[in-house]
Amino acid sequence: MKTTDLVCMRYASPLGPMLLAATDRGLAGVWFEGQRHGPDARGWREDPAHRVLREAAAQLAAYFAGARTDFDLPLDLQAGTPFQQSVWDALRGIPRGRTTSYAELARRLGRPQAARAIGAAVGRNPVSIVVPCHRVLGTAGALTGYAGGLERKTALLQLEGVL
């Protein structure tokens, strides 16, 4: 995927400004402004009328309002490696109101010795919230490793009734 294939829009979430990006295939990014591993969006065309971006913004608004518990959006995660994509797919299987650990996620993926690599892939998740990387916790439930900041991770887990 070339960055010129991406269109974007800004979204004002209750947890701070976000950048949403999409291709013709689906939603390719949801980042908090200034988060770790965020994109360089220079050259991306703003298109708030893009159907996937409009729908993503509407579903995020419903999620933050407590009216939506999951997302039904086409995703375009081709920017990740096959390993990252397998991790991101596993994240989508963590239901709202539940959490898992990096070690458990590694076991579930058949890579029990790869918790650090799993953690790195979780941290590179380009579709925050929609692909729920905030539901992955450290050992004994420690709040660790959220590219958008631990305050946001805490707020998302509170919104979902976990904390």
Dihedral sign for Cα 129, 84, 147, 11, please: negative
The candidate with the shortest Cα–Cα distance to 11, out of 53, 42, 52, 43, is 53
Alpha carbon 32 to chain centroid, angstroms: 10
- Fill in the DSSP letter of residue 44: P
| Residues annotated catalytic, as ranges | 133
Alpha carbon 5 to chain centroid, angstroms: 20
Tokens of 86: 């397998």
